[in-house]
C-alpha cells in the first residue's frame, strides 16, 4: 500500500491508502474526490482528470508522455506541474504523493 494525498479545490483533503499499480485517477474516482470527472475512464482521451502535482513531487512523478501532453492542451489553466491523473501510477517511489485538483476541468 502507498499513501496518496489529494487536495480538492475547496481545500478538502483526501488522505488515501492505495494499491501500488493503481492510478491517481482510479483512486480519486473510487473515493468520490470532487472535480475528477474522468470521462474517458482512464484512456488518456480527455483532460477531465487534470491535477497539479505538488512541487516537491514533480520530479518523482515524471513528465507527461507526448500523448498526455496532447490531451493537456484541452485542460483549463495548465501549469508546468500539470498531469492527467490517469497517467500517474502509484509506486513505492510515489508513497506520500500529493496532488491538487484544479477549480474546473476541460
2-16 pLDDT tens trace = 999 999 999 999 999
41-89 pLDDT tens trace = 999 999 999 999 999 999 999 999 999 999 999 999 999 999 999 999 9
Termini Cα distance of the chain:
31
Instruction: Please state the separation of Cα 77 from the chain's center in Å.
Output: 15
Distances (CA, A) of 93 to 59, 83, 89: 11, 17, 10
- How much is the pLDDT for 106? 79
- How much is the pLDDT for 37? 94
C-alpha cell at 103: 477549480
- In this structure, what is the dihedral angle of CA atoms 93, 51, 65, 31, given to the nearest 10 degrees? 60
77-90 pLDDT tens trace = 999 999 999 999 99
What is this structure's pTM?
0.96
Amino acid at each position: 500500500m502507498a499513501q496518496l494525498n489529494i487536495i480538492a479545490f475547496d481545500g478538502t483533503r483526501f488522505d488515501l491508502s492505495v494499491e501500488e499499480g493503481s492510478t491517481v485517477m482510479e483512486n480519486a474516482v473510487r473515493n468520490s474526490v470532487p472535480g475528477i470527472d474522468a470521462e474517458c475512464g482512464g484512456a488518456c482521451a480527455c483532460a477531465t482528470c487534470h491535477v497539479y502535482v505538488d512541487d516537491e513531487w514533480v520530479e518523482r512523478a515524471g513528465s507527461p508522455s507526448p500523448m498526455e501532453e496532447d490531451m493537456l492542451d484541452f485542460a483549463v489553466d495548465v501549469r508546468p506541474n500539470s498531469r492527467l491523473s490517469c497517467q500517474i501510477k502509484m509506486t513505492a517511489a510515489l508513497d506520500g504523493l500529493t496532488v491538487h485538483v484544479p477549480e474546473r476541468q476541460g
